Amino acid sequence: MTTETKVATDELQEILLKHSTDRTQLLPILVDINNYFGHIDDNAIIEISRYTGIPIGEIHGVITFYSFLSQKKRGRIVIRLCRTISCDIAGKEQIVRVLEKELGIRFGETTEDGMFSLEYTNCIGMCDNPPAMLINDKAYGGLTPERVVEIMDSFKLSEYQDMFGYGGVE
């Protein structure tokens, strides 16, 4: 959803009003907007700047610094694969191939239905159990190609259940 519609602008204003205009609130504001809209578009950045008095360039700098914030719309389920040296050594590239094959997209892309996005991220604190990935906020370590297929199948099934309210045709 873009923040340029009247309804979205009202929702954006509600989010802003939950926070003070103090610059220490910039990151919490950005996180709330990103979580609500799935990204932070140009209109939101302008409104944040108006509300807080923080220059647009500074806001943009914060967004681009943190990998969990995005100016581009992401899928409902964001899969972030760790790209640190420990994950590289433990077989990250096999996991890349499986994820791309399972979802039919490459890293940096979102499925056409808007359900899944694939991204790389820096260390997620699982160097003792590589390769590792985050699916939204849940961490998975010690990945193998087979385990990734199982994990993806469970997410695809749960999304089907969420969409239709049940696990299959009766």
Residue 167, Cβ density class (10 Å: 0-12 exposed, 13-18 middle, ≥19 buried): exposed
Return mean pLDDT, the chain. 89
pLDDT at residue 166 greater than cutoff 70: no
**Which residue type, as a one-letter code, is found at position 38?**
G
pLDDT of residue 155: 80
pLDDT at residue 4 greater than cutoff 70: no
Q: Considering the chain, what percentage of its residues have pLDDT values greater than 90?
A: 71
pLDDT at residue 2 greater than cutoff 70: no
Structural domain boundaries in the chain = 6-65, 77-164
Residue 143: closest CA among 122, 126, 158:
126
Instruction: Give 170's pLDDT tier (boundaries 50, 70, 90).
Output: very low
Q: What is the pLDDT of residues 30-81, one digit of tens each?
A: 999 998 888 999 999 999 999 999 999 999 999 999 888 999 888 888 999 9
Q: How far apart are CA 96 and CA 170, in angstroms?
A: 36
Q: What is the pLDDT of residues 85-108, one digit of tens each?
A: 999 999 999 999 999 999 999 999
Q: Structure pTM? A: 0.76
Q: Which is higher by pLDDT, 63 or 137?
A: 63
Q: Per CATH, which fold does 77-164 belong to? A: Glutaredoxin (3.40.30)
